[in-house]
Every structure is written in C-alpha cells, then in structure tokens.
A and B are shown apart, each in its own frame.
Chain A
C-alpha cells in the first residue's frame, strides 16, 4: 500500500516535471482542449440562462376568451354559467374599459391608446382551467370557442410551450456536441501523449530491461494525460469567463430595454467540478489508449 502510494507520488511528480519542462506545448494543448470544451459548455450555459428566463413566466396555462362585441346579455350569462363548471379553476371577467385602462398604464403604450377615438378592445374572460395538459387545454379552448357570443379563444401557454420545445432541442444538441467534443478531447490528449511516449523511447526500453512493469511505465503518462485534461478544462473556464465578461454589459442593456434586471447566471460549483472532472477523465482515457498502443510499437521496434 505504501509502495503503491509512493509509486503514485513518483509518477505524479514526474508528470508535473514533464508538463513544466515543455511549458509551450502544455499551454498550446490546453488551449486546443479549452476551445473544444468551451463550445458545448458555453451552449449549456446559454441554455441554462434561457431556461431561467422561460421559468420566470407563469407556469399555469391560461385561456383568454374574447367576447363578441354584439353578444347579448343572455349569451353573456350563459357564458358566465359555463365558466362556473368544475373544469374551470378560476375565471376573471375583464371588462373592455378595464383592459384599455391597463393597456394605457403599460409602458410606452399610453401614446397609442390616447390616439384612439373609441375602445377597440372586447370584453374578455381570463380563465384558468383545471387541466394542464396541452391536448386538454386545446379541447377546453375549442369548447368555449363554440359558445354563442364568443368571438375567439386563445391559449396563453402556447408560446411558452414552443420555447420549451425549442429549449429541449437545444439540450439534446448540447449532449450531442458534448459527445463529439469528448471524442476530440480524447484524440487531442492521445496525440500529445503519443509524442511523449515516442520521445521517451530510450527510457522505456531501459526501464523494461531493469525490471519495470508495464504499469510502472504507463503511470506517469496517464497522470500526464489527466493533468493535461484538467488544464484543458481550466482553459475552457478561462475562455468562458472572458466570453461572459464581454457579453455581460450587452445582455444587461438588452434586459433593461425589456424593463428587467436580468443578469447572466454563472455556472454553479457542481457544474464547474463536473466539467473539470470529465475533462480530466477524458484526458486520462486518451492517454491510456495512446500509451498502450505506443508501448506495443516501442516493444516491436526494439
């Protein structure tokens, strides 16, 4: 056990020495990895922010029922009676005057409403149905639309649904991209380690002759790959931090135009740890493939 720990420590310090001895190569490899990793993780962050934006919207779907301007009192009463049925949780009547007043109070629209000679808005009900399923909502909305005196119904959750669907595609895309770039990471690491193994051919051959096991020979290269992966992950963090710093001001300006105090959400500690852990793992994996193959070549060329 102590011998094993000593071997690990020895291999780790050997790997660190090699990284330092070839600082330029190390930095370039880390940058190549960092750029590759920053693409999927950057997209992941953008989607996380969009999710949060979409999450701020009312989750409960509402249906707006706009009444015909010429609806009779009897028709109106029949509609009100229908809306007291148990499939409707809440129904609020919005008279046309109140709607216009609300519109006038809203930012920047006062100018438009002030120019109106008469109120173009219909009376309306805003209802919250019992169901949240999309099909059920559509059915309730169609049902209500057939009532006499109803001009139009509108399911307000529609665009939120569309956004959710678009985000779901985005999430799938992130995983696809992440998979592709994981392969790229393994390839970059494997290539870097292969060069290292071939450069240390003599050392490997001599070590073999004086009793080194394959594991002993492989170990420093595996540490090298893992460390290189970790540095790649850190480089990706750097790339994203710079991108975030550049984007912060424009995003906040855009948000302020919408009257919101929206800020870019930085990644959580768990997400950062996950990315660093994965890049370390893939760096190690690339090194393992490469060193195993290169050791066979070294053996064959002896």
Chain B
C-alpha cells in the first residue's frame, strides 16, 4: 500500500531528515515508527500525505506517485488518509460533532447521512455525551479521541498517527492504543509514529526504527 524507494528529504537550510529510505507497508498492516525526536518520523508521515514532497526518490501510496501529484489531486489523496496529530488540530469555534462533520462536508456527503456517521464514530471513541460541547472543555485524552474520530469518520483505508499519545498519561494512552487495535482488526492500515515502548509491546505488530534519516526493521 505504501512504498518508499530511495527517498531523501532535505529541508531548505540543508538539514537532511531522511536519506535514501526504502520501505514497504502492505494493506492491513499495523506498523509502529520509532526513533528519537528529530529522527524524521513526522517527515516520513508528511511525505505519505503529500504535506511535504521528497527531495529525491519515489513515495507511492496505493500505486500513486505522491511526490509527483498535482496540486489539484492532493485533496483527493488526503480524503483516503486519516490523520491524527499530536496537537490534535481541532477547531474551537464549533462543537465536537461539527469537528467530526468537517471531513464529510468536504466530501459533500448528504447532511443526514453525515450526522449518522459522525454520531456512530463519536460513540465509538466514547464522546457521544459530549457531542454538543466545545472541544476546549475536553481533557487532553478526550481531545485526542476527538481527533481520531475526525480522522476515521470518512472511513479511510490508511490512518497515520503522529505521536498520538505524546501528551497523555499512561491510562489515556492505553485507551487510545486499544482503540487503534480495534481499527486494525477491521482492516484499516495503521502507521503510528511513537516513542511509547509500552504501547508497542502491548499491541505487538511490526516496528520500524528511524535513526539519523535511515530506517531499520526492529526484530519482534
């Protein structure tokens, strides 16, 4: 589903975040991406979602060469990818349910159907009682769950999560990881960047370690 071939990403100023990375992730896999901060985990995720473009090499997602994608085609790629951010990126000028409705509005889904789907996914992350609340009033863990709900509401085949448990205490973090396992079991491909070793050992799955711009497979 995802393949990197000799991918290098150099930022303006000369910092090389990734150098000659090769990797392949199959559909339905659960993959953890570890490494010290600044090792290039976020950059790798950004290349997959076409938020950044590779300096050289080829990034391919579902057969599409993401690095060469036209500006107009990028939104349609992103509609098939759920993004979970460490800082949540929620909109505080609208309620919980309206945050979740945003991807469906963008996709042009009919309102009643959209509401039904949004409620279902909010229920799944355990926020149904707070659907009319402003996200500002939610705890950190709840905000992260809301971000996950927004990423999943359009039923993407691929979910990318960047340090989803980075700011959470152990209890909340375990909750989130359990949720990811459930999504994995229904067939979603997950790529989770984290340095939370407890979560990795609890869930199992393949682990890739990034070190100074290079990727290496961690034996299970």
Enumerate chain B residues within 8 angstroms of A10, measured Cβ to Cβ. 105
Instruction: Write the nearest CB–CB distance from A140 to chain B, whole angstroms.
Output: 72
Enumerate chain A residues within 8 angstroms of B103, measured Cβ to Cβ. 210-211
Q: Are B78 and A206 in contact (CB under 8 A)?
A: no
User: Does A3 count as interface, using CB distance less than 8 angstroms?
Assistant: yes
Given contacts A3-B108, A7-B108, A203-B93, contact A209 B78 (CB under 8 A): yes
Identify the closest chain A residue to B78 (Cβ).
Answer: A211
Instruction: Write the nearest CB–CB distance from A5 to chain B, whole angstroms.
Output: 9
Distance in angstroms between the alpha carbons of A89 and B139 in the assembled complex: 97
Given contacts A210-B102, A211-B76, contact A202 B91 (CB under 8 A): yes
Q: Count CB-based A-B contacts (< 8 Å).
A: 47
Enumerate chain A residues within 8 angstroms of B107, measured Cβ to Cβ. 211
Enumerate chain A residues within 8 angstroms of B75, measured Cβ to Cβ. 208, 211-213, 216
Enumerate chain A residues within 8 angstroms of B49, measured Cβ to Cβ. 209
Contact with B along A1-35 (1 / 0, CB 8 A): 00110110010000000000000000000000000
Q: Are A211 and B108 in contact (CB under 8 A)?
A: no
Contact with A along B66-95 (1 / 0, CB 8 A): 000000100111110001000001010100
Enumerate chain A residues within 8 angstroms of B106, measured Cβ to Cβ. 207, 210-213, 216
Q: Are B108 and A6 in contact (CB under 8 A)?
A: yes
User: Does B110 count as interface, using CB distance less than 8 angstroms?
Assistant: yes
Instruction: Write the nearest CB–CB distance from A291 to chain B, whole angstroms.
Output: 16
Distance in angstroms between the alpha carbons of A184 and B88 in the assembled complex: 41
Instruction: Write the nearest CB–CB distance from A64 to chain B, whole angstroms.
Output: 76
Q: Are B102 and A207 in contact (CB under 8 A)?
A: yes
Enumerate chain B residues within 8 angstroms of A3, measured Cβ to Cβ. 108
Identify the closest chain A residue to B92 (Cβ).
Answer: A202
User: Does B51 count as interface, using CB distance less than 8 angstroms?
Assistant: yes
Enumerate chain B residues within 8 angstroms of A203, measured Cβ to Cβ. 91, 93
User: Does B41 count as interface, using CB distance less than 8 angstroms?
Assistant: no
Distance in angstroms between the alpha carbons of A102 and B58 in the assembled complex: 101
Q: In chain A between 167 and 206, which residues have their CB closer than 8 angstroms to a CB of chain B?
A: 202-203, 205-206
Distance in angstroms between the alpha carbons of A205 and B83 in the assembled complex: 13
Enumerate chain B residues within 8 angstroms of A202, measured Cβ to Cβ. 89, 91
Identify the closest chain B residue to A302 (Cβ).
Answer: B51
Enumerate chain B residues within 8 angstroms of A206, measured Cβ to Cβ. 89, 91, 102
Instruction: Give the most central of B77, B83, B105, B151: most A CB within 10 Å.
Output: B105
Enumerate chain B residues within 8 angstroms of A213, measured Cβ to Cβ. 72, 75, 106
Q: Are A211 and B93 in contact (CB under 8 A)?
A: no
Given contacts A3-B108, A6-B110, A202-B91, contact A209 B83 (CB under 8 A): yes
User: Does B150 count as interface, using CB distance less than 8 angstroms?
Assistant: yes
Instruction: Write the nearest CB–CB distance from A66 to chain B, whole angstroms.
Output: 81
Distance in angstroms between the alpha carbons of A210 and B103 in the assembled complex: 6
Distance in angstroms between the alpha carbons of A203 and B105 in the assembled complex: 13
Instruction: Give the most central of B49, B108, B111: most A CB within 10 Å.
Output: B108
Enumerate chain A residues within 8 angstroms of B51, measured Cβ to Cβ. 209
Enumerate chain B residues within 8 angstroms of A216, measured Cβ to Cβ. 75, 106
Enumerate chain B residues within 8 angstroms of A6, measured Cβ to Cβ. 108, 110-111
Q: Are A210 and B108 in contact (CB under 8 A)?
A: no
Distance in angstroms between the alpha carbons of A4 and B110 in the assembled complex: 11
Contact with A along B108-125 (1 / 0, CB 8 A): 101100000000000000
Instruction: Give the most central of A3, A4, A202, A213: most B CB within 10 Å.
Output: A213
Identify the closest chain A residue to B94 (Cβ).
Answer: A203
17 further interface pairs, Cβ-Cβ under 8 Å (given A10-B105, A210-B150): A3-B108, A6-B111, A206-B89, A206-B91, A206-B102, A207-B106, A210-B79, A210-B103, A211-B75, A211-B76, A211-B78, A211-B79, A211-B103, A211-B107, A211-B154, A212-B106, A213-B72
Question: Which residues of B line the A interface, CB within 8 A?
Answer: 49, 51, 72, 75-79, 83, 89, 91, 93, 102-103, 105-108, 110-111, 150-151, 154
Nearest 6 CB-CB pairings of A with B: A211-B79, A3-B108, A211-B78, A213-B75, A212-B106, A211-B75
